[in-house]
Amino acid sequence: MSVKTYTRFELAENQLTSAIGLFVSGRDRFSVMTLAGAADVLLSRLVMNQGRENFTQLLAKSETEKAGTPVAVAAHGRAINDLLFINQLKHMDDGDDAFIDLDPEECALAAISKALVNYVALAGDQKDIVLAFKGWAWRNLDPTKYSVHGPARTDTSGDEA
């Protein structure tokens, strides 16, 4: 027996770190989605506990402004999780369809991105996992599709453009 005390943030950060590690090393996308999804649940609550709005709340607010009618946060959160198949990867009821149709690469990328928004709200954008994921995104994602920006560069050549 080795009982230790963990902060909720540690549990979330460790899972998100694993998710990003698995993702950038090309390993199983379902595992990435499940880990990022679990981390995001904890991170979303921790952001709220600080009296701030988490990613889902910000998105629901934006949707409300666009639609002109109130968008319920809980329903919006469920819809996002359904879109990313978060629940489908960890649960199956009697009578459920045993097949799912999804794009694991897109869903894994989206699940990490969603969790990272909440992580950055709590820990800032200079932590190792944030920089590692941003670096991967800059090198691997199509900037015209994902609006990825490269890291800020310091010109050391002495030349002026």
Q: Choose between 28 and 62: whose C-beta lies nearer to another protein.
A: 28
Q: Choose between 1 and 161: whose C-beta lies nearer to another protein.
A: 1
The candidate with the shortest Cα–Cα distance to 102, out of 34, 14, 17, is: 34
Q: How far is the CB of 67 from another protein (least distance, A)?
A: 27
Angle formed by the axes of helices 29-49 and 8-24, to 10°? 150
Query: Residue written as tokens 């934006």?
Result: 62
What six digits make up the tokens of 29? 């996308």
Q: Choose between 101 and 160: whose C-beta lies nearer to another protein.
A: 101
Q: How far is the CB of 15 from another protein (least distance, A)?
A: 5
Binding site for another protein (CB under 8 A): 1-8, 11, 14-15, 17-19, 22, 27-28, 30-31, 34-35, 37-38, 41-42, 45-46, 48-49, 88-94, 96, 98-104
Q: How far is the CB of 55 from another protein (least distance, A)?
A: 15
Query: Residue written as tokens 């869903």?
Result: 107
Tell me if 86 sits within 8 A of 37, measured CB to CB: yes
The answer for residues whose C-beta is within 8 angstroms of residue 138's C-beta and 6 or more apart is 148, 149, 150, 151
Q: Choose between 99 and 154: whose C-beta lies nearer to another protein.
A: 99
